[in-house]
Amino acid sequence: MQNKIDLTIFRHGTGLLPSVSVDCVIFGFHDSQLKVLLLQPKGSCNKMLPGGFVQLSESLNEAAQRVLQERAGVKEIYLEQFYTFGAPNRTDDTIHKRYFNTIPIDLDENDWILKRFVSIGYYALTDFTKVKPTPDVLSDSCDWYDVYQLSELAFDHQEMVERALKTLRSKLDSDLVGFNLLPEVFTMQDLQNLYETILNEALLRTNFQRKILNLNILERLEKKMTGAANKAPYLYKFKK
Amino acid sequence: MQNKIDLTIFRHGTGLLPSVSVDCVIFGFHDSQLKVLLLQPKGSCNKMLPGGFVQLSESLNEAAQRVLQERAGVKEIYLEQFYTFGAPNRTDDTIHKRYFNTIPIDLDENDWILKRFVSIGYYALTDFTKVKPTPDVLSDSCDWYDVYQLSELAFDHQEMVERALKTLRSKLDSDLVGFNLLPEVFTMQDLQNLYETILNEALLRTNFQRKILNLNILERLEKKMTGAANKAPYLYKFKK
DNA sequence: ACTTTATTGTATCAAAATGATACAATAGTA
DNA sequence: TACTATTGTATCATTTTGATACAATAAAGT
């Protein structure tokens, strides 16, 4: 199943902001892996982040949300800007043109789409289980990939993922980010596992539990009977 | 004295990246005040940050450096990107056109310069005493203004200053930022004064001294005989 | 020369946060 | 009933931070 996307928007002068694009780094968590959402474009291009252009009537944030919905089928997600990428050669000419030539529209050789542009990076965390990645007509697939095992990506998208991850790490404590990465209810071990994966380092179980509980942001629910021969952990959910 | 600026760069298609600009928030410190560098454009416009467009051949960072040099006479300064501003109405139409009509060049009504654009914000800290603000031909003046006493600024430049200040505060400790705001040598009181002004809150003298000294980044020099009837403070400079 | 004053550098103590270890409780298995 | 693996919590040591005390000192006043 593919998303509808209005290809006329790619045509010059039909309501797009020239030279500007947005790219989205969407993090998910599954099987103890931190994942990122990537599109496999048609043709032989490397995988890329869901990205697109900005309409004249919308804000950058709105553009990021719309693009994410159109290209990956992900909607109603809180996105945060983390950096703007603008190296003159960031969209390597030949790759860039090859990519846009796979799009079934006529592009003038002088169209700004074929030239340099600046891309504003947005990132978000989302519950892996609640998202159904859906590729658009320009892509063969849309799927999750382990952040720590990425193949080479298109353009400067590797750098984008790295910088988004750095931002995520630095905001993990202060912004109590990372909440959207887990399902509704979870155990303390699930949460610690998430933290360890994002930070890529081991944490001391007892102190992690103390720290999180002292934040007073969790509501303790019933125990989770795992069937294992040991004490059952409590389930938690985030307070509102 | 005014800087030379090549006005042809404003003409459409002569090597500029459409729809994109950079704006610079330059902080200085003097008389116990945190200052920001502003231009007074010719005509009746509000004051504005030194900003300009991006040439096709340069990176965003290079553009910011060049623009700062051309418009305010400030050179060789380390700039850091802090946010990108892209609200659809951020350059209010009438003010925007009025401003660009003061520039002595012909602009087509359809020129992107008269339309919406996105601006990438850069900020920097600099030694007040080492900068000689110099306006360009488009401006009547270029001067320092107290960050906490700003009049209304052009476009969304107030928001830019606020966000730059927020970034500065959050990075003050971790990045040991704020060093460029003081002259070569200084007393502990000078440094504390700077911190208090940036954070806009009082700090305990003894603990501040302990904290800074424990960082092991200062080299203690001779005492500074102030002429006052009390113990003379040491001078310090930053280790390399 | 001695006292006074304002300020500086450092020590000290209490409180809070963090790191590390110990241990009892418990859901199942042998 | 004993055993095992894991969980929740307590405890203690260490480090960090907040608050106060105090001796040292450069100059002025007497």
Positive or negative, the CA dihedral B221, B222, B225, B231 is: positive
CA-based nearest distance B36→chain A, Å:
23
Sheet bearing B186-187, strands edge to edge: B186-187, B234-238, B218-223
Residues of A contacting chain B (CB within 8 angstroms): 17-20, 54, 56-60, 81, 83-84, 86-88, 112, 115-118, 120
Q: Which residue has the higher pLDDT, A221 or A174?
A: A221
| Nucleotide at minimal C1' distance from the A192 CA | D7
Residue B230 CB closer than 7 angstroms to strand D? yes
Read off the pLDDT band of A212 (50, 70, 90).
very high
Read off the pLDDT band of B150 (50, 70, 90).
very high
Instruction: Mean pLDDT check: name the lowest of A24-28, A41-45, A219-223, B92-96.
Output: B92-96
Span A123-178, pLDDT tens digits: 999 988 889 999 998 899 999 999 999 999 999 999 999 999 999 999 888 776 66
B19, B116 in Cβ contact below 8 A? yes
Give DSSP secondary structure letters for chain A: --B---GGGGSTTSSEEEEEEEEEEEEEEETTEEEEEEEEESSSPPBB--EEEEETTS-HHHHHHHHHHHHH---S---EEEEEE--TTSS-HHHHHHHHHTSSS---TT-GGGS--EEEEEEEE--GGG-----BTTEEEEEEEEGGG---BSTTHHHHHHHHHHHHHHHTTTT-TTGGGS-SSEEHHHHHHHHHHHHTS---HHHHHHHHHHTT-EEEEEE---SSSSPPPEEEEE--
| Nucleotide at minimal C1' distance from the A187 CA | D7
Contacts of B110 (CB under 8 A, 6+ apart): none
Q: What confidence score (pLDDT) does residue A29 get?
A: 93
Q: What confidence score (pLDDT) does residue B47 get?
A: 95
Read off the pLDDT band of A2 (50, 70, 90).
very low
Kindly tell me if the per-residue pLDDT of B100 is higher than 70: no
Q: What confidence score (pLDDT) does residue A134 get?
A: 94
Q: What confidence score (pLDDT) does residue B173 get?
A: 83
B146, B35 in Cβ contact below 8 A? yes
Chain B residue numbers with beta carbons less than 8 Å from the beta carbon of A84 are 60, 81, 84, 120
Q: What confidence score (pLDDT) does residue B2 get?
A: 46
| Nucleotide at minimal C1' distance from the A231 CA | C26
Q: Which residue has the higher pLDDT, A5 or B135?
A: B135
CA-based nearest distance A89→chain B, Å:
9
Q: What confidence score (pLDDT) does residue A42 get?
A: 86
Nearest to A124 by CA among A47, A70, A178: A178
Q: What confidence score (pLDDT) does residue A35 get?
A: 96
Span A181-195, pLDDT tens digits: 899 999 999 999 999
Two tokens, residue B140: 């009547």
**Average pLDDT estimate for A46-74:** 94
Q: What confidence score (pLDDT) does residue A198 get?
A: 94
Span B15-58, pLDDT tens digits: 889 899 999 999 999 989 999 999 999 887 899 999 999 999 99
Which domains are present in chain A? 7-171 (3.90.79.10), 182-238 (1.10.10.10)
B187 CA vs C5 C1’ separation (Å) = 21
Residues of B contacting chain A (CB within 8 angstroms): 17-20, 54, 56-60, 81, 83-84, 86-88, 112, 115-118, 120
**Average pLDDT estimate for A5-34:** 80
Residue B240 CB closer than 7 angstroms to strand C? no
Nearest to B85 by CA among B158, B36, B142: B158
Positive or negative, the CA dihedral A171, A172, A175, A180 is: positive
